[in-house]
Amino acid sequence: MTDTRSLIFPFFCTTSSTSVFTCLALIAFSLSLAAFLRNLRRLSPVQSDDSISKNRQEQASNRALLDILVQQLINGLILGSIYALIALGYTMVYGILGLINFAHGEIVMIGAMITITCLNMLIGYGVDLPALMLVAISLLMAIPLSALLGFTIERVAYRPLRNAPRLAPLITAIGLSIVLQNLAMIIWGRQYVAFPAILPSEPHQFLGASITTVQILIVVLAALIMAGLMLLVNRTKLGRAMRATAQSPEVASLMGVNVNHVISMTFIVGSCLGAVAGVMVSANYGQAHAYMGFLLGLKAFSAAVLGGIGNLAGAVIGGLLLGIIESLGAGYIGDLTGGFLGSQYQDVFAFMVLILVLVFRPSGLMGERVAERP
């Protein structure tokens, strides 16, 4: 008989965590290969005088292509880290409830907006602290409010519909997304809200590519949060309760697990991750707006589907892969289409991936075919 744990919430099988390291190893291998090829170009043999000019032009062109490749891989890693954090919120809720929380993108947006508001207040009051500490304090103010919002959404909107047909909570989630989006427009307006330019933005050169201090912090912080979430799920009492609820809420309840508490905590944890991801997006792009959560949510959902919805390790891998695919598409779409399409069409790649996965492997890269819950 197939292990129910691997069917309902495959991430909780500890062997799947090795796939995360496999994905990271593949990314590291890609960067190393690019560096090797870049250095190999410098070892060209001695040429005759007649062919020096032509060879120099070819070398310059190849070097430019390699620089673009490395730059787009780095951009994809940064973008994928953000997608992975948001996708974790989707896949945690789905793994336990079988529900797609389409309001999660708006929680990401509201977390970013609250952080920017708190940061502007601290700066306005003349609080003399290092920039990173100001951002950390603002984020610590936004996280509890985002967690409270996630808890309220689950308690008010989703819990009464827990035994309703699957279409009812889906429509409710879409309605909540629209409500939160309009509420944000009432509070912060329709215009873009600038992220205060207080974080260090000096670029660092790496294999011919450029990466800023903020982007390095985004990748490092995302990796630490993902590692912490894995420890939470696999090493804590709450994580054991989540695994039990994911297998069978009825059996978990008979064994003394407070299922309602576990589900509420799942929404709270996912909302906290969303708030952090929202701050990462606004800090990286220097702005936030009321519409940002919709597209971010769809892309993160695509990442969760790509990795295998309900599988946390799959969400991480799907987010990283989607970020790299989108960045590579943005870097090369002009060459591929002869200049007909520009980098502004990079979103097309994310949804092309979603369509292809749904057509050829609906369960995702790391998902398994699951039976419907009774």
- Between residues 61 and 8, the one the model is more confident about: 61
Provide the 8-state DSSP code for 191. Answer: S
pLDDT tens for 238-294 read: 988 998 888 888 888 888 889 999 999 999 999 999 999 999 999 988 889 888 888
Position 136 scores a pLDDT of 92
Q: How would you class 114 by CB atoms within 10 Å of its CB: exposed for 0-12, middle for 13-18, buried for 19 or more? A: buried
Provide the 8-state DSSP code for 158. Answer: I
**AA identity, residue 86:** I
User: What is d(CA 300, CA 335) in angstroms, rounded to the nearest whole number?
Assistant: 27
pLDDT tens for 179-217 read: 999 999 999 988 899 998 888 878 877 777 788 888 889
User: What is d(CA 31, CA 27) in angstroms, rounded to the nearest whole number?
Assistant: 6
- Between residues 70 and 79, the one the model is more confident about: 79
* pTM for this model (two decimals): 0.80
pLDDT tens for 8-21 read: 444 444 444 444 44
User: What is d(CA 224, CA 179) in angstroms, rounded to the nearest whole number?
Assistant: 33
Position 165 scores a pLDDT of 84
User: What is d(CA 293, CA 304) in angstroms, rounded to the nearest whole number?
Assistant: 16
Residue 314 in contact with residue 363, Cβ under 8 Å? no
User: What is d(CA 32, CA 35) in angstroms, rounded to the nearest whole number?
Assistant: 5
Which residues are paired to 212 by β-bridges? 203
Alpha-helical segments (H) within 236-311: 237-247, 249-254, 259-285, 292-307
Domain boundaries, the chain: 14-38+56-360
The two structure tokens encoding residue 160: 């009464």
Position 56 scores a pLDDT of 60
Which residues are paired to 206 by β-bridges? 209
In terms of average pLDDT, the best of 110-114, 197-201, 304-308 is: 110-114
pLDDT tens for 168-178 read: 888 998 999 99
Domain 14-38+56-360: assigned CATH number? 1.10.3470
**AA identity, residue 178:** I
Position 350 scores a pLDDT of 74
pLDDT tens for 118-168 read: 999 999 888 788 888 999 999 999 999 999 999 999 998 888 888 888 888
Please give the sequence-ordered ranges of beta strands (E in DSSP) within the chain, or none if there are none: 193-194, 203-206, 209-212, 287-288
pLDDT tens for 320-371 read: 988 888 888 776 766 666 666 666 677 777 788 778 888 888 887 776 544 4
Greatest alpha-carbon span in the chain = 84
Q: Could you tell me which residues come within 8 angstroms of residue 147 by beta carbon, excluding any fewer than 6 positions away? A: 268, 271, 272, 275
Position 109 scores a pLDDT of 94
Q: How would you class 162 by CB atoms within 10 Å of its CB: exposed for 0-12, middle for 13-18, buried for 19 or more? A: middle
Question: Per-residue pLDDT for 54 more than 70?
Answer: no
Position 327 scores a pLDDT of 83
Task: Specify the length of the chain in residues.
Answer: 374
In terms of average pLDDT, the best of 57-66, 103-112, 208-217 is: 103-112
Closest by CA position to 286, among listed 77, 145, 119, 147: 119
Give the DSSP per-residue string, 112-133: HHHHHHHHHHHHHTT----HHH
Position 279 scores a pLDDT of 92
Distances (CA, A) of 330 to 24, 36, 324: 22, 24, 10
Which residues are paired to 288 by β-bridges? 193
